Amino acid sequence: MQFIRKLAAAVLATVLCSPQLACAQPTVTSFAPTEGLTMGWTQVVFTGTSLGSTSAVRFDGVDATNLIVDGSGTRVTATTPAHARGTVAVELITALGTAAAGSYTYVPQPNITNLGPGEGSMLGGTEVTITGSGFTGATTVLFGSKPATRFTVDSDTQITAVAPPQPAGLTVMFEISTPIAHMPHPMGYFTYTVPPELRPTVTSFAPTEGLTMGWTQVVFTGTNLGSTSAVRFDGVDATNLIVDGSGTRVTATTPAHARGTVAVELITALGTAAAGSYTYVPQPNITNLGPGEGSMLGGTEVTITGSGFTGATTVLFGSKPATRFTVDSDTQITAVAPPQPAGLTVMFEISTPIAHMPHPMGYFTYTVPPELRPTVTSVAPRWNPPAGGVPVVLTGTNLTGTTAVRFAGQSALSFTVDSATQVTAIPPPAPLQSAGVEVTTGLGTAQGFFLYASAPVLASASPTTGPTTGGTPVTLRGSGLLSTTRVSFGGVAASSFNAVDDTRIDVLTPSHAAGNATVQVVAESGTAVLSGAVFAFVSPPADGACGAADGQERITPPTAGLCSAGAAGSVAAASGAFAWTCAGQNGGADSRQCSAPWPLSGVGGLRTSLALPDPATNQGWGLDTAVLDAALPAPLPGGASTQHRALRLVLSGGSAGSSAQFTVHYSEPVPAGAVYLKYGPSPQGLNCNGAACAQPHWYALPGSTAVFAPDRRSVTLTLTDGGLGDSDAVPGHITDPGLPVLLAGAGGGTGPVSVPALGPWALTVLTLALPLWVGLGRKTNQKR
């Protein structure tokens, strides 16, 4: 395009300026401005003649931009290109030739490299030194939009300027103007500050601590506080801000905050003032207390648990302070309740240096102590007919000051307070079975039992018989029965009963001995007995059944455990056993035959039993022990033989020197000719002589003291204390080991008889000598 333009200009010049034609040359008479910034972009206007064909404007050979050629041919406008600092030639290129415009000077733009100080008072007056380049010829220095109060261009690289007043906190950009440049510079900033004499300060504030819930009013004192717009606690704005007109006092309400110490600051138009530290503490918080009630007399020790109790100064029970209290820890207080009226429920209030408020979870109720409460211990009588009117004496404690007496919820017709322990009242009419009596005093209400009822009447019972084991359901009918408290049969309380209504009681009979029993009902309104009838207890039918003695070996007849049911018959001894019958009773049909075998007493299944008369008919002698020894106390005499064990008896209870009689039974007959052989000391001549008679030895009891029955199945023995048949010398005590023995030659046998029997004369002599022998034996024992 540039080439075409030049070509066109050359052609035009050739045409216009041929030798045949005169040609007008382009001229520049003036241009402005004649200097500009090295960065270019300066618009320059050229004035002259024959400039209409201008195709370029060149600054030191460099084409300008934004070329504008006026239609009159006298004016051209162009924008300078960038160029180094200095003066350069300028020319306009036209179709008619090149016109030299003259010299153009490139100067650098003002450039700030540093300044100081970078801040100063909002009142102005701060002298700022600006260093950089291109300051020569500076015409204006601006601080933002405001010119410096004054300035001096010290050199091309330094200006000294005085800041004008502007608002505090404002940061402005420098602008330095020269004849060819005026623009702000991004490296030149200046901040306006509040001078110390105008800055806000907080000299004190109070209080310095408060509740975590906030709502504490804090007063700040200081200087230059008039423009305060906010008070902040740890960055959170306070509320209810009040700024005093003097500028020295600010009031604000704390916001809520967690427990701890935080920084406080006041925000003003002249800056932020640090006030210091403020401590948040939790408000006293009650989570539990106990006990929750106590005596109206005071003195109850209450343990209060929660938090924030440290430094507590007061504990209130409602409006009254605790008698005394101790702060056990930040979480516990022990307080003693002051006296207050009974029935009053109060709220706790715990005060600390920064908090005093009631707490809705802490309540305490005053009660009447037990020793002052009214009581009713007895009511006499405990009932009235439905018409009422029968005086009732109420006995108890703390009845002085009785204000009301009620029977079944209705006020008494009248009452009198006889003493602190007695009130007499007249019951009003009330429906049947209405119950209860109340006595009210200023210290409470006491209750007692009272019933509107009619006197009980017992008219019938059905059924009227039942077993002695009890459990028979019986229906009792009559009137006035609903208040029944006890039913008895023959004085024995019923197993259970239910007063169905006022005319009927269902009852279960108790166990009772056989026979007729009176039926009695005890009610609150009196006692009734079933008239004209009784309840008959009958024994239940029982079949006979053998008892524990059945099958058990016995040497003497059993007397206990004969029957477990039924009636026991007499015990008989026969064929080696005791036998008896257990017969059915009360209609029981079955009878049982029971037996107890005798113990084995010899070879071939021999068994033995023992029968003693009643001690009353046997001179007082009774059986202590009866043992069948497996071994003999000593070998039998030569030629003697036996099939039996020795029976060792111990008898006692008789008088000294008297005789005892008993019978020994055998299951098999004793052989004919056998005698009852006894082991022990004996009188002279019974298989002994002299001193040998005092030593134990075998001897046969004389026939009169050992009498065998004709069937040889029993022998009746007569033993004398300290004499014949007694082996010891203890008075009132008989020991007798012995057994039936068949001697050689007896019963048709042959051989000598080792143990002689005594003839009639010998027995007579023995009888006369026996007392003397007994006496000698006792003396001998005494010597021993």
Q: What is the mean pLDDT of residues 392-415?
A: 96
Q: How far is CA 757 from the centre of its chain?
A: 96
Q: What is the mean pLDDT of residues 688-703?
A: 91
Question: What tens digit of pLDDT does each residue of 368-386 get?
Answer: 999 999 999 999 998 999 9
User: Residue written as tokens 């009866």?
Assistant: 626
Q: Under DSSP, is residue 135 helix (H, G, I), strand (E, B) or coil? A: coil
For residues 600 and 108, what is the distance between their CA atoms, to the nearest angstrom? 157
C-alpha distance from residue 247 to each of 142, 203, 230 (Å) = 34, 13, 14
Beta strands in 282-387 (DSSP E): 285-290, 293-295, 301-307, 314-317, 320-321, 324-329, 332-336, 345-352, 355-367, 375-380, 383-384
Question: What tens digit of pLDDT does each residue of 615-631 get?
Answer: 888 888 988 888 888 88
Domains (ranges, CATH) in the chain? 2-107 (2.60.40.10), 114-193 (2.60.40.10), 199-281 (2.60.40.10), 285-367 (2.60.40.10), 373-452 (2.60.40.10), 457-538 (2.60.40.10), 545-597 (no CATH), 614-781 (no CATH)
Question: What tens digit of pLDDT does each residue of 741-770 get?
Answer: 877 544 333 333 334 443 333 333 333 333
What is the structure's pLDDT at 761? 30
Question: What tens digit of pLDDT does each residue of 12-27 get?
Answer: 444 445 444 446 899 9
What is the structure's pLDDT at 202? 98
What is the structure's pLDDT at 284? 85
Q: Residue 90 corresponds to which amino acid?
A: V
Please determine, for residue 35, whether its predicted confidence score (pLDDT) is greater than 50.
Answer: yes
Across the chain, how many H-helices and E-strands are there? 2, 71
Q: Which helix (H) or strand (E) holds 272?
A: strand 271-281
Please determine, for residue 81, whether its predicted confidence score (pLDDT) is greater than 60.
Answer: yes
Please determine, for residue 777, whether its predicted confidence score (pLDDT) is greater than 80.
Answer: no
Lowest mean pLDDT among 171-185, 256-270, 518-532: 171-185
What is the structure's pLDDT at 763? 36
What is the structure's pLDDT at 391? 97
Dihedral angle, C-alpha 153, 154, 160, 161, nearest 10 °: -20
**Per residue in 611-635, is it b (16+ CB within 10 Å) or e — as a string?**
ebeebeebeebebeebebeeeeeee
For residues 346 and 311, what is the distance between their CA atoms, to the nearest angstrom? 23
Please determine, for residue 772, whether its predicted confidence score (pLDDT) is greater than 60.
Answer: no
Task: Cis check for the bond before 196: say yes or no (omega within 30 of 0).
Answer: no
For residues 104 and 557, what is the distance between their CA atoms, to the nearest angstrom? 169
Q: Which residues pair with 450 in a beta bridge?
A: none
Phi-psi region of 176 (alpha: psi -120 to 50; beta: other; left: phi over 0): beta
For residues 428 and 413, what is the distance between their CA atoms, to the nearest angstrom? 5
Please determine, for residue 184, whether its predicted confidence score (pLDDT) is greater than 50.
Answer: yes
For residues 352 and 342, what is the distance between their CA atoms, to the nearest angstrom? 29
For residues 263 and 277, what is the distance between their CA atoms, to the nearest angstrom? 5
What is the structure's pLDDT at 185? 62
Question: What tens digit of pLDDT does each residue of 323-358 get?
Answer: 999 999 999 999 999 999 999 999 988 888 877 666
Please answer whether residues 314 and 351 qualify as being in contact, where contact means their C-beta atoms are separated by less than 8 angstroms: yes
Neighbouring CB atoms inside 10 A of 256's CB total: 12
Q: Which residues pair with 315 in a beta bridge?
A: 350
Residue 308, burial from CB neighbour count under 10 angstroms (0-12, 13-18, 19+):
buried
What is the structure's pLDDT at 17? 53
C-alpha torsion sign, points 741, 744, 749, 753: negative
For residues 67 and 174, what is the distance between their CA atoms, to the nearest angstrom? 33
Q: Record the tokens describing residue 602, joined without a space.
A: 């010899």
What is the structure's pLDDT at 186? 63
**C-alpha count within 13 angstroms, C-beta hemisphere, residue 236:** 12
Q: Record the tokens describing residue 444, joined without a space.
A: 């409470």
Q: How far is CA 137 from the centre of its chain?
A: 95
Question: What tens digit of pLDDT does each residue of 284-304 get?
Answer: 888 898 999 999 999 999 999
pLDDT band at 740 (very low <50, low <70, confident <90, very high): confident
Neighbouring CB atoms inside 10 A of 68's CB total: 12
Residue 207, burial from CB neighbour count under 10 angstroms (0-12, 13-18, 19+):
middle
Q: Residue 22 corresponds to which amino acid?
A: A
Q: What is the mean pLDDT of residues 58-66?
A: 97
What is the structure's pLDDT at 744? 55
pLDDT band at 161 (very low <50, low <70, confident <90, very high): very high
pLDDT band at 183 (very low <50, low <70, confident <90, very high): low
